[in-house]
Structure 1
Amino acid sequence: MLAYIVRRLLYALPILIGVNLITFALFFVVNTPDDMARMQLGVKRVTPEAIAKWKAERGYDRPLFINAEAAGTGVVTETIFFAKSVRMFAGDFGRAEDGRDIAREIRLRMEPSLAIAVPTFILGLLVSVSFALLLTFFRAGSLDFWGVFVCVAMMSISGLFYIIGGQYLVSKLWRLVPISGYAGGFDAWKFLILPVVIGVVSGIGASTRWYRTMFLEEIAKDYVRTARAKGLSEVVVLFRHVLRNALIPILTGVVVVIPLLFMGSLLSESFFGIPGLGSYTIDAINAQDFAVVRAMVFIGSLLYIIGLILTDLSYTLVDPRIRFV
């Protein structure tokens, strides 16, 4: 097991380097350091001296990948790529274009993101699995037919519709909760309850259909017929046998999402004005702040790889036959 984890971590290193390199290259294909300077200075006609000063203050006056004028290791280290990207592997994310420390901003914004993502994830999983089990229990009946119909209708509607509709109905007309904003401490629930409910409702359709498909596939197998032949009730068969054996495909989609909960929700945080990592990323994209975008892409890639490793490890918990060699 330990050897498997070490091997997977070693595989992750070139992946992270490749993602980092591609992100860096794509960003500078779109925007040169001169373009970044003009945008950050905020003036239409900016002097070459001002551009050169801005680049020198932020380290963008160096070559991108290779510094032919440097000696020794400086050929590689005295470059924009090394200064802005390679240091992230040591946890140094640097500073945003406005001068704020990126690592500190991430720590501050992680709490609001988790406050939305964790309840949405847990409640959404419980509701979707329960609804899928209900449809499977009454399969081929009226409840199953209309349940699938509702799920297809819900998954066909854009997530923006749920957000805007929820804000208009619950916040503007009924005035039950604030339409946007965020507050720390106990008062945070007033700002979080609507985004959480909308997040759960918007994901029920697709999740329920997927879980229902998994359960229907399991319920047609031989071990289920054997359990029924032993006199077990349909409820016992469904919860003790079908649900347990369907955990592997469920874990594939669930465990890998857990690390990504730290990244926040781009749409929800932006529309509800919550200062989380999702809105932080959107603001950085709009401002074309390469330092923040680079850091968020790196963290997202790292968390996704960790999620894949956790998914593989979780298989051994639900299926003892799986062993890593």
Structure 2
Amino acid sequence: MLAYIVRRLLYALPILLGVNLITFALFFVVNTPDDMARMQLGVKRVTPEAIQKWKAERGYDKPLLLNAEAGGLAVLTETVFFQKSARMFVGDFGRAEDGRDIAREIGNRMGPSLAIALPTFILGLFVTVTFALTLAFFRASAFDFWGVVLCVAMMSISGLFYIIGGQYLISKVWRLVPISGYGGGLEAWRFLILPVLIGVVSGIGSGTRWYRTVFLEEITKDYVRTARAKGVSEAAILFRHVLKNGMTPILTQSVVAIPGLFMGSLIMESFFGIPGLGSYTIEAIQSQDFAIVRSMVFIGAVLYIVALLLTDISYTIVDPRIRLR
């Protein structure tokens, strides 16, 4: 197990380096350092001298990837890529274009993102698994048929409809909770109820259909027929055996969702005005702040790799037949 974990972590290094390089290349294909300077300075203050000064102050006056004029390791270290991207491997995210420390901003904004993502994830998993088990229990019945129809209909509706409809009905018409914004402390729950509710409801269709398929596949296996032959009730088969043996795909879906829990929801946070990591990323893209964008992409890649590793490890817990070597 330990050798497997170490090997996977070593594999992660070239993956993270590749993600860094691709992000760096894509960003500077769209915007050169001169373009970034012009956008930050504004039309009235753009002069060649001002552009050079802006680049020098922020370290964009160096070559992008290779410094042919330098010698030794400086060929690689005295570049924009090393100064701005490679340092993230040691946790140095640098500063945004407005001068604020990115690591501190990420730490401050992680709380609101988790406050939405964790309840949405836990409640959504409970609701979808329970609904899927119920449909599997009443399989081939009218309840199962109309349940699947409802799931397909919910899957076909855009997530924006749930957000806009929820804001209009619950906040504007019924005036039960604020339509947007965020408050600290105990008052935060008033701003979180609606986005959490919408997040759970919008995921019921796809989640239920996926888990229903998993459970129906398990029901056709030999151990279920053996349990029925021994007189075990259908409810006991579903909740004691089928659910337990269907944990592998459930874990796959659940653990892979870890990056989303930390990174926040881009659309949800933007619509509800919640100062989380999702809205932070959107703001950075709109202002074309490369420092923030590359930091969020890097953190997302790290979390995704960690999630895949945790997925493999969790398989050995729920299914002892699986061994990692």
Instruction: Normalising by structure 2, report the TM-score.
Output: 0.99
Q: CA deviation digits over 1:222-244, x for unaligned, max 9?
A: 11000000010000000111111
Residue 186 of structure 1 aligns to which amino acid in structure 2? L
Write out the 4+ residue segments of structure 1 that deviate beyond 4 Å after TM superposition.
Answer: none
CA–CA separation in structure 2 for the residues paired with 1:258 and 1:233: 36
What's the CA shift for 1:256? 1.5
Take 2:48 and 2:258, find their aligned partners in 1: how far apart are those partners?
47
What amino acid is aligned across from residue 14 of structure 2 in structure 1? Answer: P
Is the 8 Å Cα contact of residues 94 and 291 (structure 1) preserved in structure 2? yes
Q: Name 1:322's counterpart in structure 2.
A: 322
Structure 1 partner of 2:13:
13
Asked if the contact 1:255/1:311 (under 8 Å) is kept, the reply is yes
Kept in 1, the 8 Å contact 2:136–2:215? The answer is: yes
Q: Say whether the 8 Å CA contact 1:84–1:94 is kept in structure 2.
A: yes
Cα distance in 2, alignment partners of residues 156 and 289 from structure 1:
35
- Asked if 1 retains the 8 angstrom alpha-carbon contact of 2:62 and 2:78, the reply is yes
1:234-273 Cα deviation digits (max 9, x unpaired): 0000011111111111111111212431100101100000
Deviation at 1:300, TM superposition (A): 0.2
For 1:292, the equivalent position in structure 2 comes to: 292
Aligned twin of 1:312:
312
Match of 1:227 in 2: 227
User: Partners in 1 of 2:30 and 2:200 — Cα distance?
Assistant: 37
Q: Distance in 2 between the 1:145 and 1:316 partners?
A: 35
Q: Which residue of 1 aligns with 2:43?
A: 43
Deviation at 1:45, TM superposition (A): 6.4
**Structure 1 unmatched runs, 5+:** none
- Quote the offset at 1:24 in angstroms: 0.1
**Which range moved further: 289-298 or 34-43?**
34-43
Query: Aligned partners of 1:20, 1:132: CA distance in 2, in Å?
Result: 40
Question: Can you give the 5+ residue segments of structure 2 that lack an aligned partner in the other structure?
Answer: none
Cα RMSD (Å) of the superposition? 0.8
Contact 1:38/1:44, CA 8 A, preserved across alignment: no
Tell me how far apart the structure 2 counterparts of residues 90 and 51 of structure 1 sit (CA, whole Å): 30
Match of 2:80 in 1: 80
CA distance in 1, matches of 2:261, 2:11: 23
- Residue identity opposite 2:99 in structure 1: G
Three-state SS of the structure 2 residue aligned to 1:284 is: helix
8 A Cα contact 1:66 1:79, kept in partner = yes
* Contact 1:65 1:80 survives alignment (8 Å): yes
Hey, what does 2:2 align to over in structure 1?
2
Note the C-alpha offset of 1:44: 5.6
User: How many residue pairs were aligned?
Assistant: 325
Alpha carbons 2:117, 2:260 under 8 Å: kept: no
Identity percentage of aligned residues: 80
Structure 1 residue 71, shift from structure 2 partner: 2.0
Indicate yes or no: 2:26 matched with 1:26.
Answer: yes
Distance 2:127 2:250 in 1: 14
CA deviation profile, 1:6-50 (whole Å, cap 9, x unmatched): 000000110000000000001000000000001111226611011
Superposed CA offset, 1:41-86 (max 9, x none): 1226611011001000000000001111112211110000000000
- Structure-1 separation of matches of 2:152 and 2:45: 53
- Give matches, 1:21-170, under 5 Å: 21-43=21-43, 46-170=46-170
CA contact (8 A) 2:247 2:318 kept: yes
- Partner SS, residue 231 of structure 2: coil
1:181-238 C-alpha deviation (Å, 9 max, x unpaired) = 0011100000000000000000000000000000000001111000000010000000
Distance 1:312 1:253 in 2: 12
